[in-house]
Amino acid sequence: MVARSVTATAMLLVGMWLMPAEGRSAERVVTLAPHLAELVCAVGGCARLVGVAEYTRVPPEAASKPKIGSAFSVSFESVLSLRPDWVLAWDGGTPIATIARLRELGLPVDTLAVRRLDDIGGALEQVGAGLGMENEAAAAAAIYRARLAALRAQYRGRSRIRAFFQIETAPAYTVSRLSPIHEAMDLCGADNVFADLPMLSGAVSAESVIAVRPRVVVTTSDESPAALDAYWARFPGLPASRYRVVVSADTLTRQSPAVLDGIADLCAGLDRVRKQMAADGH
């Protein structure tokens, strides 16, 4: 791990290297979360990325860039060594202390917030403005909004199904209505059984899972199938022990246009579950 403080020499050098991105287009961009790199690439700015967070896996052009630490533990020395003229931080994810420290070092840092699916179009436009790629961003945002509207129209009116979005098993975690994942589930006709959690995400006990009686489990591809099987083997009386929808972790959980691929897969998966339940007489 990098030391908590950066040397005075490094601070002097950063003052020589960098200027605020205001009034000009950023040419050297560092992103502090995977979805931020995806947003940059979605407007055509992949070539301007000089550093990305760990677990940035798509697109390949972004995945190959130098890593600056994780979304929650940034290496200040790594960021400084890349001489960025724009750092994009995750509003709600990047620690506030990290943002403050980067700004103390003279780095131009902007935060990007995505609370709802509709926010992604605006996020694309904000990124485009910082890169001087407004036209490309406007086109990307228009495509995103049109496809989101089409998905909403396609799956409107589906029969509702009680669903549990599950992360891990020991303990299990889930998300509330504050997460874009909740909104994706709702679009597909799934009622999030833990929508009323007081925080965006949190651990849920086995007893609470039994109490809310989900009919289907929604999870992502980075979860262990064996661990999920063992978890649900304890609740053979719950329909959710038999019905599961798995969506790519690089789509449904992303606050970028990739989320639309995840939503399409989720909706199709839930339709398959509805048909299977009907065949099973449930």
pLDDT digit string, tens, across residues 45-78: 999 999 999 999 999 999 999 999 999 999 999 9
For the chain, counts of helices (H) and of strands (E):
11, 12
* Residues 194 and 266: beta-carbon distance below 8 Å: no
For the chain, how big is the Rg over CA atoms in Å?
Answer: 21
Cis peptide before 20 (omega within 30 of 0): no
Instruction: Note the pTM of the prediction, 2 decimals.
Output: 0.88
- Checking DSSP bridges between strand 73-74 and strand 69-70, what pairing results, if any? antiparallel
* Residues 193 and 160: beta-carbon distance below 8 Å: no
Q: Is the pLDDT of residue 182 over 60?
A: yes
Which residues is 169 bridged to in the sheet?
A: none
**Whole-number pLDDT of residue 6:** 36
**Whole-number pLDDT of residue 23:** 57
**Whole-number pLDDT of residue 17:** 35
**Whole-number pLDDT of residue 56:** 96
**Three-state SS sequence of 140-170:** HHHHHHHHHHHHHHHHCCCCCEEEEECECCC
Confidence band (pLDDT; 50, 70, 90) for 282? confident
Q: Is the pLDDT of residue 194 over 50?
A: yes
Q: Give me the percent of the chain exceeding a pLDDT of 70.
A: 91
Residue ranges of alpha helices (H) inside 30-168 are: 34-42, 60-63, 76-81, 96-104, 119-131, 134-155
b/e per residue 123-144 (b: at least 16 CB within 10 A): bbbbbbebbbbeebbeebbeeb
